[in-house]
Amino acid sequence: MRTANGNILEIRHITKDYPGVRALDDVCLDIKEGFVHCIVGENGAGKSTLVKILTGAESRSSGKILFGGLEYNPKNTREAIKAGMSTLFQELNIVEGLTVGENLTLGREHTTLGVIRHSQDEHRAIDLLRTIAPDITVTNMVSELSVAKKQMLEITKAVAADARVIIMDEPTAAITQDEVEKLFGIIKELRQHGVTVIYISHRLNEIFAIGDYVTALRDGRVVDTKRVSEIESRSELIKMITGKVVIESYVPSQIDHQAKALQVKGLTTQKLRSVSFDLFKGEILGFYGLVGSGKTEIARALFGVDPKQGETLIHGRELLCNAPRQAIRNGIAMLPEERRTEGLCPILPIRENIPLMDIRKIVSAFGVTSTTKERGLARKFMKLLRIAARDEDHVVAQLSGGNQQKVVLAKCLNAESTILLLDEPTRGVDVGAKDEIHTIIRDLSSQGVSTVVFSSDLPEILNLCDRIMLLFEGAIRAEIKNGPDVDAEYIMHIVTGGDHVHQECA
């Protein structure tokens, strides 16, 4: 039912708090029915959190949402779908062990006495799949499909749900240009049938191609909403996203430019395209890019997690690193993006987490783990990194995000690493912990440790790093030296797919 003011969604004063972090702050937004409303912003701006609240995956801390003029408060994603809210998530939401046909109606099956029956919805979804992706058959196992084909299946599922609002979160991140054009055709057709599309993308050219309205989020707040037709240039949209980025605390590191700690030549994976760079002793090198740029893939390849091609030299010596243990033995340690699942054993206490990269320091002369050494080591790093905990027996899962991150850093330092790979080192931590972690990184730099920071937080990169590599679609598009004259708009222009030379942003 169309409301009197033409809004299908009215979002009023939505706030979402996580422990120590406010992800959304008094967000107010109107979404008009039958239009494509784009939402843009840097990583961490609050886009994904807003999507989770709209889809029932997260509850809001405060505020109200009206959907079609009625109060909307889904307790889970199933309730959201039933209400008419369909979502194409950034992370694929399909079951690998089922067929394409089974995935198409997953969660919306028609049953009789507990037996799944063929339905009109199923036939409609299959017909739609033939239009969107004719090379995919319903009998294909999803596990056999390429990433791009899985994405097209997700798109078909979202469209087939017969929703009034379809949210598309970075839908083109893993599909070809031909498939992008096909998706845009589908979006335009949906719009003609009165379906509202909320479209989230870092690729600004897409906003101009299909958007009617665009809202920019920054630090969990709405900056502005405009008609796309009223935005005069790409540069104007970039200004909406970035605002004025202030470098408050950048201090150049004491870099030894005569000593190359790390040399990477032609690093290539399924995602990366011939990435090459040098890292000097004591330098803090930044890699900045948005979703799908390849930041995490570089870190994982260098740490030996993912297979790769290319040449890696540490202190001038070639390194064949095909496993994390080889990287650790050669002085490379990694702080992963997902600290709870990849960087920590959350159910164990601090004292049992810190030694994990180098267990030798807590082993007694008889080859048995020494609890006394374990406790002493933990207390040393708790004091050094100011880890706020009851004692060394404090279970890691019960620590704040910032203190968990410090425990991962302690693991790296215990391994006596000379090269640190830090993937989103302050994601999900409060401002105080963020400043402390930045101070720790600077202190390590002054001691000759070389650090690579992979971050989607532009202020973090500008306040911390000496040089910055700008990534887009798995390749380094530009390299800039940090300093007072650095141009944040130019940086955003490059990482959103703009040409390397651009008069408005250079």
pLDDT digit string (tens) for 432-444? Answer: 777 888 989 999 9
Is a pLDDT exceeding 90 seen at residue 481?
yes
Question: Are 218 and 30 in contact, with CB atoms under 8 Å apart?
Answer: no
Q: What is the pLDDT of residues 275-321, one digit of tens each?
A: 999 999 999 999 998 877 899 999 999 999 999 999 999 988 888 77
Q: What is the pLDDT of residues 185-244, one digit of tens each?
A: 888 888 888 899 999 987 888 999 999 999 999 888 999 999 999 998 888 888 888 776
Q: What is the pLDDT of residues 444-476, one digit of tens each?
A: 999 999 999 999 888 889 989 999 999 998 999
- Looking at every residue in the chain, the average pLDDT score rounds to 85
- Give dist(CA 410, CA 408) in Å, integer: 5
Looking at residue 141, the DSSP 8-state letter turns out to be B
Question: Are 439 and 386 in contact, with CB atoms under 8 Å apart?
Answer: no
Q: What is the pLDDT of residues 34-86, one digit of tens each?
A: 999 999 987 678 888 899 999 998 999 999 999 999 999 999 988 998 899 98
- Give dist(CA 499, CA 205) in Å, integer: 12
CA distances from 331 to 299, 300, 497 (A): 14, 15, 35
Cβ atoms within 10 Å of 191's Cβ, excluding its own = 16
Of 36 and 372, which is predicted with more confidence?
Answer: 36
Is a pLDDT exceeding 80 seen at residue 161?
no
Torsion 97-103-108-110 (CA) sign: negative
Choose from 142-151, 172-181, 193-202, 366-375 the range with maximum mean pLDDT: 193-202
Place of tokens 């997700």: 154
Contacts of 72 by beta carbon, 8 Å cutoff, 6+ apart? 9, 65, 66, 83
Averaged pLDDT, 407-427: 90
Averaged pLDDT, 86-114: 68
Place of tokens 């730099």: 445
Question: Are 402 and 434 in contact, with CB atoms under 8 Å apart?
Answer: yes
pLDDT band for 430, please (50, 70, 90 cuts).
Answer: low
Q: Could you name the CATH architecture of 256-495? A: 3-Layer(aba) Sandwich (3.40)
Q: Where are the domains of the chain?
A: 256-495
Give the pLDDT confidence score for residue 278 in this predicted structure: 96
pLDDT band for 138, please (50, 70, 90 cuts).
Answer: confident
Averaged pLDDT, 326-339: 89
Averaged pLDDT, 178-186: 82
Give the pLDDT confidence score for residue 465 in this predicted structure: 95
Averaged pLDDT, 398-414: 87
Give the pLDDT confidence score for residue 466 in this predicted structure: 95
Give the pLDDT confidence score for residue 174 in this predicted structure: 64
Question: Are 286 and 469 in contact, with CB atoms under 8 Å apart?
Answer: yes
Averaged pLDDT, 258-281: 94
